[in-house]
Amino acid sequence: MRFLNAVDTSASALTAQRLRMDIIANNLANVNSTRTGQTDAEGNQIPYRRQAPVFETRTRGVSFAEALRDAGEPGATDAPGSGVRVVQIVEDEAPFKFVYDPQHPDAIRNGPQAGYVRMPNVNTVTEMVDMISATRAYEANVTAVNAAKGMATKALEIGKG
C-alpha cells in the first residue's frame, strides 16, 4: 500500500536524522576532550576525533533501468527508493588543533611541538550548522508523515459515504 510506503520512507529518515543529532551532540560534548585512552608512537595522548554519519538510500532491489522503464508505465508501482539508512559512522580525518599550554597534563613533552596540546578537530560552528540542518530535515519528515496520515484519514472519510 503506497500510504504505508510513504510513512515508512519518512520514518527511516526520522531515525537517520535522530542518529545524526546524537552524533552531533556527542561531538559537541567532546569539543575539549584531549584524552581517548589512545596514545601515538611517542606516548602522547590522542584527542577525540569528530564523527559523522554516512547515509545511503534504501532500495527495493530494482535496477536503474527497471526503475526508469517502470516510471513511464501508467499505474506504475512504487519508486525504487524506500528511505534512507546509516551505513557507517566515520571519523573526520581533519588535522587536530594545537593550543600552547605547557602546564596541561596532555601537553606534548618532546620535539618541535613541545608545550602544545592537541585538541579535538571539532568546530562548534560547523556542528551547530549541522544541528540546524538535521532539525529541519527531521521537521520536514514529521510534516510528511502528518500529511500522509491526513490523506489517509480523508480517504477513509470519503469511503464512509
What is the model's pTM?
0.80
Residue that is written with C-alpha cell 596540546 in the block: 117
CA angle 61, 65, 67 (to 5 degrees): 60
pLDDT in tens, 2-42: 667 788 889 999 999 999 999 999 999 999 999 988 888 88
Q: What is the pLDDT of residue 59?
A: 73
* pLDDT bracket for residue 152 (50, 70, 90): confident
Quote helix, strand, coil % in the chain, to nearest 5: 45, 20, 35
Strands annotated E in the chain:
51-59, 81-91, 97-100, 116-119
pLDDT in tens, 44-60: 889 999 999 999 988 76
pLDDT in tens, 61-96: 666 676 666 666 655 555 556 789 999 999 999 999
80 in Cβ contact with 60 (< 8 Å): yes
Q: What is the pLDDT of residue 63?
A: 66
Q: What is the pLDDT of residue 44?
A: 85
Q: What is the pLDDT of residue 159?
A: 74
Q: What is the pLDDT of residue 157?
A: 87
12 in Cβ contact with 58 (< 8 Å): yes
Measured in Å, how far apart are the chain's first and last C-alpha atoms?
A: 22
Q: What is the pLDDT of residue 74?
A: 58
Over residues 107-126, the mean pLDDT reads 93
Cell of 146: 502528518
Question: Where exactly are the structural domains of the chain?
Answer: 2-160
